Amino acid sequence: VGPASFYVGLGLTLVSSGFIGGSFILKKKGLLRLCRRGRARAGQGGHSYLQEWLWWAGLLCMGVGEAANFAAYAFAPATLVTPLGALSVLVSAVLSSTFLNEQLNIHGKIGCILSILGSTVMVIHAPQEEEVCSLESMAEKLKDPGFIVFAVCVLVSSLLLIFVAGPRYGQSNVLVYVSVCSAIGSLSVSCVKGLGIALKELFTGKPVLKEPLGWVLLVCLVICISIQINYLNKALDIFNTSVVTPIYYVLFTTAVMMSSAILFKEWQHMVLNNIIGTISGFLTIVSGIFLLHTLRDVPFTPDLLPFFLQQGRADLQTSWRSVDRHLSCQHQPLLPSEDKGFQSAEEQEEEEGESV
């Protein structure tokens, strides 16, 4: 991957993250409006969101973001483009706290920062995929037994989640529908990569339209995206946006990394420090997502501080009180009152109450 391709892919990925992060907010706003009107919810199998213009605006934003993401995969490796999807988590979290009144506490903010830092580390140590410059080489890689086994496992697990786990746990467990989106998404990335290569060959004048592989990849991509949109709508309708987005990112990134490693054999050419850096960056992202998801409803109070900090805080408050008491003594009258037995009405009432 040359420097020019790197910066083109990086710029397209940043644009993609902005549009995709905003699309979650628009879709959620549309689903909430339908809920207030009493329409059938998407989580219960309804499709009334097709009549809501906010939902279509979110879909349009997601389409623009996915198109930019599509182009980014054609210019840069998948392991460079996919981790930067953490920026869409940040965009979605900030916008949801602004427009959806979904509170983002200090734990969530730290989680967003950790996700971005981990993505940066992963980009620095990203493995370089093998050169795939034609549909013929892509076809050879798709025939690899390891990738075929991976694709079969993804399809079988997705069917089990849809038809077995979905009816039972889909309304209570966020992982069910999000796992379907992530697993199918790993296959869609492979289709995007192949179509990107086909478009490059088409622009150079090669008869790509006569190749059946390009059309097969296009049909598979449409099917995969349709499944992703359907089950992502279900997850967004049932659960909080700040929960769905980061979990979807973690699972989707993991699935894409596995798919790219199996399809392009990129980990075989990595040195030890890049392997450690990639794993460390990913674990940093997972830690950030854990903070963003698990502790989203935990308020940050002084009781959560370590004991020695709480002790120091108590001592500081005590010193402040003593200073205030000293200052109050300085402001007392210099001469005693002529009537030393004079008391305020409130003090007299308190003493009478104590005596009773």
pTM of the model: 0.66
Cα R_g (the chain), whole angstroms: 29
- Is 197 a domain residue? yes
Structure confidence at residue 152 as a pLDDT band (50, 70, 90): very high
- Is 345 a domain residue? no
Position with higher pLDDT, 181 vs 253: 181
Number of domains composing the chain: 1
- Tell me the mean pLDDT in the region 165-185: 90
* Residues in CB range of 139: below 8 A, 6 or more apart: 213
Q: What is the mean pLDDT of the chain?
A: 76
- Is 274 a domain residue? yes
pLDDT, tens digit, 9 for 90 and up, residues 119-134: 788 878 876 555 577 7
Structure confidence at residue 343 as a pLDDT band (50, 70, 90): very low
pLDDT of residue 102: 72
Structure confidence at residue 261 as a pLDDT band (50, 70, 90): confident
pLDDT of residue 300: 63
pLDDT of residue 338: 44
Structure confidence at residue 323 as a pLDDT band (50, 70, 90): very low
pLDDT of residue 183: 92
pLDDT of residue 131: 59
Structure confidence at residue 159 as a pLDDT band (50, 70, 90): very high
- Show the tokens assigned to 133: 């410059």
For every residue of 274-287, which 3-state class applies, written as one string? Answer: HHHHHHHHHHHHHH
Closest CA to 112 of 125, 124, 95: 95
The CA distance from 83 to 13, in Å, is 10
Q: Is the pLDDT of residue 264 over 50?
A: yes
The CA distance from 315 to 308, in Å, is 11
- Is 308 a domain residue? no
- Tell me the mean pLDDT in the region 59-72: 84
CB distance 31 to 237 below 8 Å: yes
Q: Kindly report which listed range (9-23, 188-202, 224-238, 295-309) carries the lowest average pLDDT score.
A: 295-309
- Tell me the mean pLDDT in the region 69-97: 77
| Number of Cβ within a 10 Å radius of residue 280 | 14
Position with higher pLDDT, 28 vs 165: 165
The CA distance from 126 to 277, in Å, is 8
- Is 22 a domain residue? no
- Is 39 a domain residue? no
Q: Is the pLDDT of residue 216 over 80?
A: yes
Structure confidence at residue 314 as a pLDDT band (50, 70, 90): low
Structure confidence at residue 304 as a pLDDT band (50, 70, 90): low
- Is 324 a domain residue? no
Q: Kindly report which listed range (15-24, 45-54, 99-108, 314-323) carries the lowest average pLDDT score.
A: 314-323
* Residues in CB range of 325: below 8 A, 6 or more apart: none
- Is 339 a domain residue? no
Position with higher pLDDT, 61 vs 322: 61
Query: What range defines the domain where residue 202 resides?
Result: 70-295
